[in-house]
Amino acid sequence: MVKSSRLYIRDSGLVHELLGIGNTEALAGHPVVGASWEGFVIENLLACAPPRTEASFYRSTSGAEVDLVLTFRNGKSWAIEIKRGLSPVLSAGFFSALEDIKPDRSFVVYGGNDRYQLKPNVEAISLITLQQELLSF
Q: Where are the domains of the chain?
A: 2-135
Query: Alpha helix (H) ranges present in 49-123?
Result: 92-101
Least confident of 6-20, 56-70, 77-91, 117-131: 6-20
Query: What is the band of 39 on the pLDDT scale with cuts at 50, 70, 90?
Result: confident
Q: Is 29 exposed, middle or buried (0-12, 13-18, 19+ CB in 10 A)?
A: exposed
CA angle 123, 125, 81 (to 5 degrees): 70
Let me know if domain 2-135 sits in CATH 3.40.1350.70.
Answer: yes
- DSSP state at residue 121: T
> How large is the average pLDDT for residues 45-52?
96
- DSSP state at residue 50: P
3-state secondary structure (DSSP) of residue 131: helix
**pLDDT tens-digit readout, 111-121:** 999 999 999 99
**pLDDT tens-digit readout, 64-96:** 999 999 999 999 999 999 999 999 999 999 999
The reported pTM is 0.84
